[in-house]
């Protein structure tokens, strides 16, 4: 993708949710977030104690078994650990096969982590089930996939990209809603990974929180589950499909927690025109026991 291509195009609509059909407890959409896959070219390689390829296969079969009605899969970065083209090919084939041979029929969208190269992702993740779109819409929900990859392992959202995000938010009607995804954590988690935080995260949050449409931010990178508030915005960290890190440690410590992923249920909009407060977004982490 040439650098001058816009990050966001006009929104791509997700189809009517599968769970909406004939279901009184319907949602506008069920989204699945997976993050921090840390794959290698070699399927036997381990990241610390974890075989990241096997852990991903287990996560995908858990999703197919428990959330076959999901409407989209959102990958929030750190696909690769060894930075090889073969690791991206491995994910491309794995997801295509997993989706083809299971009951999952859903688009896969993505954004980069600090370990990723956007060019390699564009090269491998564009044909179905992958989509390169970074702006999705379903009912009155606007889903933005933002790029927090900087020039170091820490995160940075460029001035230009911040303007693109604000440009999209400006166009969202006041009675509609936005959720944002990025790789890095925008606020400290009080742990080792704060060394690699989204360095301009608090300024970015201040900017996007000017828009009451923004309801939640979901990220990865910290390899554990967190939930923090910033003004009206709920910020959720999703654990990795690979391995987890201990919380609140000054040094880097590996946790024995299992692989995990997040489920996000976007509520249907209230039909009353005067109502600007929809039901709360429901979200939870699925841990593979």
The footprint of Zn ion (CB under 5 A) covers 78, 113-114, 221
C-alpha torsion angle, residues 163, 168, 171, 173 (rounded to 10): -130
256 DSSP assignment: -
Looking at the Cβ atoms of 11 and 113, the one nearer to Zn ion is: 113
Least Å from the CB of residue 114 to Zn ion: 5
**Long-range pairs for 271-279 at CB < 8 Å and ≥24 separation?**
273/175, 275/175, 276/174, 276/175, 276/212, 278/177
Looking at the Cβ atoms of 111 and 265, the one nearer to Zn ion is: 111
Least Å from the CB of residue 198 to Zn ion: 11
Least Å from the CB of residue 240 to Zn ion: 9
Other C-beta atoms within 10 Å of 119: how many? 10
E strand or H helix at 287, and its extent? strand 282-287
Least Å from the CB of residue 232 to Zn ion: 26
**Cβ-Cβ contacts under 8 Å for 287 (sequence gap 6 or more):** 239, 257, 258, 259, 260
Least Å from the CB of residue 70 to Zn ion: 24
With contact defined as beta carbons under 8 Å apart, do 213 and 170 qualify? no
Looking at the Cβ atoms of 35 and 92, the one nearer to Zn ion is: 35
- Per the listing, tokens 């299971």 go with 102
Looking at the Cβ atoms of 30 and 221, the one nearer to Zn ion is: 221
Looking at the Cβ atoms of 151 and 271, the one nearer to Zn ion is: 151
Least Å from the CB of residue 11 to Zn ion: 27
Looking at the Cβ atoms of 115 and 215, the one nearer to Zn ion is: 115
What is the C-alpha to C-alpha distance for residues 281 and 33, in angstroms, rounded to an integer?
Answer: 14
Cα 244–chain centre separation: 17
């Amino acid at each position: 993708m040439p650098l001058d291509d816009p990050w966001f195009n006009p929104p791509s609509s997700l189809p009517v949710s599968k769970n909406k059909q004939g279901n009184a407890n319907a949602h506008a959409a069920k989204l699945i977030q997976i993050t921090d896959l840390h794959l290698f070219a070699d399927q036997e390689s381990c990241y610390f104690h974890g075989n990241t390829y096997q852990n991903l296969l287990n996560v995908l079969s858990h999703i197919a078994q428990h959330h076959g009605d999901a409407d989209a899969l959102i990958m929030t970065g750190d696909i690769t650990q060894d930075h090889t083209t073969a690791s991206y090919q491995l994910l491309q084939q794995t997801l295509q096969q997993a989706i083809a041979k299971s009951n999952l029929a859903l688009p896969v969208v993505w954004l980069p982590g600090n370990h990723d190269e956007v060019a390699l992702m564009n090269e491998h993740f564009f044909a179905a089930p992958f989509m390169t779109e970074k702006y999705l819409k379903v009912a009155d929900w606007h889903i933005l996939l933002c790029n927090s990859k900087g020039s170091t392992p820490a995160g940075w959202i460029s001035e230009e990209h911040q303007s693109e995000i604000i440009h999209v938010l400006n166009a969202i009607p006041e009675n509609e809603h936005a959720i944002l995804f990025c790789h890095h954590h925008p606020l400290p988690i009080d742990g080792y990974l704060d060394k690699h935080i989204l360095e301009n995260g608090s300024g970015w949050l201040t900017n996007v929180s000017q828009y009451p449409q923004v309801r939640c931010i979901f990220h990865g990178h910290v390899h554990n589950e967190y939930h923090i508030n910033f003004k009206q915005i709920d910020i959720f960290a999703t654990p990795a499909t690979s391995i987890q890190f201990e919380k609140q440690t000054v040094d880097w410590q590996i946790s024995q927690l299992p692989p995990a992923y997040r489920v996000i249920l976007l509520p249907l909009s209230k039909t009353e025109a005067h109502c600007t407060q929809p039901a709360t977004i429901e979200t939870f982490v699925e841990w593979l026991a």
